[in-house]
Amino acid sequence: MSAAGTQVQRHALVTGASRGIGYVIAQRLLEQGVRVTILGRGTQSLQQAVEKLAQFGEVGFVSANITEQADVRKAFALAVERFGVIDILVNNAGQAVSERFDRLDEAAWNKMIAVNLTGTFHCIQAALPGMLAQKWGRIVNVASTAGLVGYAYVSAYCAAKHGVIGLTRSLALETAKKGVTVNAVCPGYTETDLVQEALDNIMKKTGMTNDQAKSKLAEGNPQGRLVQPAEVADAVVWLCQPGASAVNGQSIPVDGGEVMAG
């Protein structure tokens, strides 16, 4: 992957990349010739992911809790020591809690904000100085359609993802003339372990089968299906290309048409 026509091997750091969407993003970036560092919390799962990803290119991992700023800075420093400045940051790590609002406790609220919003803040602050120094960088926040509209029973998650969209837009304006673009990709319900947890919750409460629950979630997608991780990954990788240099501050839904910009 090159910038402005100059062949430069870039270094990308992808959070939450030991599985699901993050793993496929890492694979797609490796296929583009990018060096990739994946970040997560479980060392064993990260090591297993790296062993599988190594066939696609140069890849390593660092372990950190993104809700802890000192932890993030230490992990990012190790990544830079291995592969050089972080040119591309993909904030993919996230969690969702489903609960009726009047039953949502403060601990669950704080966890959703910490993981989905504050963690994104920590990672951007760790990576941005290097991007600004070289006057080139790509930040892609994997948000959610929950950052664009509301969904019942996931108020804390929606609030956090709306915060990620706001952060994306504000930072994009600050860096617009500094060679760094900041965008968000907003998947609808995507066939991942996170959505399987939602399916399990639906089955538990309604008695539906897994296929019935999946069909229920897919009803919101005009295409009548769940989004695939590779479809989200391809949108992320496109935003990292030189040809996407004019795309900045955008929140791009990948949802079959469920959410349309007005």
Residues serving a catalytic function are 157
Beta bridge partners of 253: 186
- The answer to whether residues 225 and 258 touch, using CB atoms and an 8 Å cutoff, is no
- DSSP H or E stretch at residue 193: helix 193-206
How far is residue 107 from each of residues 41, 104, 120, 162, measured CA to CA in Å? 20, 8, 19, 19
Residues 213-231 as b or e (16 or more Cβ within 10 Å = b): bbebbbebbeeeebbbbeb
- The answer to whether residues 22 and 15 touch, using CB atoms and an 8 Å cutoff, is yes
Which of these, 134, 121, 131, lies nearest to 93 by C-alpha position? 121
Question: Torsion angle, CA of 29/165/251/233, rounded to 10 degrees?
Answer: 20
Question: Torsion angle, CA of 151/157/159/162, rounded to 10 degrees?
Answer: -90
DSSP 228: P
